[in-house]
Structure 1
Amino acid sequence: MTTTLLVFTDLDGTLLDHYDYNFSAANDALSSLRTLGIPCVLNTSKTYAELLELRHALRHKDPFIVENGAAIYLPINSRFDPNPEWAQCGDFWVKAFGPNRQELIKVAQSMKSQFDFIGYHDLTKEQLMEHTGLDFNTAALSMQREFTEPLIWNDSNNALAEFRSLMEKEGIKVQKGGRFVHLMGQDCDKAIAMQWLIECYQSCTSDTVKSIALGDGENDVEMISKANIPVVVRSPVHAPPEIPNRNDVWITDSYGPKGWSEAINQALKNEGFI
């Protein structure tokens, strides 16, 4: 029985450098995945609009997951047969898991007097650039969100726990990422989207499908915990998140894309691809 390996990766702080979003340290490993025909699924908090440009830079041709698991984009010319429930967006079929962003904003605004936060929709492009280091064009693309609403959280951790509890009663999940607190539907999760896509791949092959997931933040924990090969990419700005119920987690020695590349190369060796 042969193995089909699927790579699921976070972007910011993982495949992309935390400070300058550079991925040159990962180029050789990305090239190896392309040569071996191993899908590399981007699983990120970024938007569809952001990913169109970034995918071109990465020479990426595989499916991708946006806004922390809120939707999956499948290239129309890929191996998957279209489902009548999927929408079409440009050259992609779209499987959505999340509610409309405006619903999330409405609920968050109703709690603005109780907690200290700034909604993404309240930011100017210039403010977003200052907070993230994004250039003007990329900041504009980042603001084109459809399924989630990031917040700059200026309140305490205790307040965040209270906020999370209140939002849960409204059917909204709160996840803390590297820079933002993200609001999304209860069924939006990087792990749920990953599992859905793994099942799609499994339905197309008699191979054993094996997954490796790489991430650096709290919003990557579930995705990493559900993968066959769980990898935490070391961050220069925070401690590695704990992955519950797994004693086989790899924590990279290097930060960001360099650590990412080391983990991919090791996995390819371990699985007999190189």
Structure 2
Amino acid sequence: MTRFIEVNATECMTTTLLVFTDLDGTLLDHYSYDFSAASDALNSLKTLGIPCVLNTSKTYAELLELRGALRHKDPFIVENGAAVYLPVNSRFDSTPEWTQRGDYWVKAFGPDRQQLIATAKTMKSRFDFVGYHELTVEQLMEHTGLDAHTATLSMEREFTEPLIWNDSNNALAEFRGLMAEKGIKVQKGGRFVHLMGQNCDKAVAMKWLTERYQNNTSDVVKSIALGDGENDVEMISKANIPVVVRSPVHVPPEIPNRNDVWITDSYGPKGWSEAINQALTNEGFI
């Protein structure tokens, strides 16, 4: 987790690296959701004690099982930055604003999902979209390729409402403006358009969690963020090391105000692994 950097003959400083990663299309293959191509790099992070924070549109229910498969023990961020989950036995001291859910402290940024659904329904006559809550498990399976069990877990949302957007990009821009007037953010992901509170963002959650780590160490905390979609742009743009993982289904998103973005050569988890290994080499961890 920590490495030493020589400053001069009498002084040295240390740095802590944090990894923030999207899942679908990034750490997980876009089509198969397989992560085996990233297994060696994940093991390297575990060996070095470098936290790997999952920062995803997925739900708490989905991540409980996926974290088991990944052997993941670090904090995680759900529903596009709507809430941060921290293991109760971690280094972080709870505060009155946190709630406890099972073995985790929860810091929530987003409104209740039902509020988002109610607002979206007022727009149904003007725009062509289908809400997540309207889908059957079978329809969600067809749209995403998920199996029945995983699709069911995906529907257990708390803070956000994904939409299947069937309208034009111009219509989406208009819809985004109208929802912003109602205090709701609209973000486009790899498969869905996501509705969430204005303060919900992967970058906001990343910043909040990075500050918690910084408050617990005298090291310099440095972040690397990896993602493939529009809903990853802010997270990537705010990281010390910005990485766009190449997607097989869309062009790499532009990252504003950064001329140092890495765009991987390979797709999905293979590209993710290449970027992690390069970062570990560049930062002197391996």
Normalised TM-score (structure 1): 1.00
Provide the residue aligned with 1:173 in structure 2: 185
Q: 1:180 corresponds to which letter in structure 2?
A: F
Give, in whole Å, the separation in 2 of the partners of 1:57 and 1:221: 27
| Runs of at least 5 residues in structure 1 that lack an aligned partner in the other structure | none
The answer to whether residue 178 in structure 2 is matched with residue 195 in structure 1 is: no
Deviation at 1:84, TM superposition (A): 1.2
2:141 to 106, 126, 129: 129
Deviation string 1:110-160 (CA, Å, 9 cap, x unpaired) is: 110110000000000000000000000000000000000000000000100
Matching residue of 2:87: 75
Instruction: Name the SS of the counterpart of 1:68 in structure 2.
Output: helix
* Match status 1:227 vs 2:254: no
Of residues 81, 103, 126 in structure 2, which corresponds to 1:114? 126
Which residue of the partner structure matches residue 90 of structure 1?
Answer: 102
Partner of 1:273: 285
Gaps of 5+ in 2: 1-12
Give the deviation of 1:35 after TM superposition.
Answer: 0.3
Question: 2: CA distance between counterparts of 1:243 and 1:153?
Answer: 23
Identity of aligned residues (%): 85
Of 147, 151, 157, the residue aligned with 2:169 is 157
Tell me what 2:196 maps to.
184
| Cα distance in 1, alignment partners of residues 58 and 128 from structure 2 | 24
Give the Cα separation in 2 of the matches to 1:225 and 1:59. 28
Alignment-derived partner of residue 8 in structure 1: 20
Alpha-carbon deviation of 1:232? 0.1
Q: C-alpha distance in 2, partners of 1:240/1:109?
A: 32
Number of positions where the alignment pairs a residue of Structure 1 with one of Structure 2: 274
Once residues 2 and 33 of structure 1 are traced to their aligned partners in structure 2, the CA distance between those partners, rounded to angstroms, is 17
TM-score w.r.t. the length of structure 2 is 0.96
Shift of 1:251: 0.2
Residue 8 of structure 1, CA deviation? 0.1
- Is residue 2:54 matched to residue 1:54? no
Give the residue type in structure 2 aligned to 1:70.
Answer: A
Aligned to 2:8: none
Q: Distance in 1 between matches of 2:178 and 2:262?
A: 35
- In the alignment, the residues of structure 2 paired with residue 29 and residue 84 of structure 1 have an alpha-carbon distance, to the nearest angstrom, of 37
1:241 and 2:242 matched: no
* One-letter identity of the residue aligned with 1:217: G
Partners of 2:97 and 2:124 lie apart in 1 by 36
- Asked if residue 40 in structure 1 is aligned to residue 52 in structure 2, the reply is yes
Aligned residue for 2:80, secondary structure, equals coil
What residue identity is the alignment partner of 1:26? A
Does residue 151 of structure 2 align to residue 146 of structure 1?
no
RMSD: 0.3
Runs (4+) off by over 2 Å: none
> Rg: which structure is higher?
2
Deviation at 1:37, TM superposition (A): 0.3
Instruction: Give the superposition deviation at 1:91.
Output: 0.2
Deviations 1:48-79 (A, max 9, x none): 00000000000000000000000000000000
Matches within 5 A, 1:207-226: 207-226=219-238
Any idea what SS the aligned residue of 1:221 has? helix
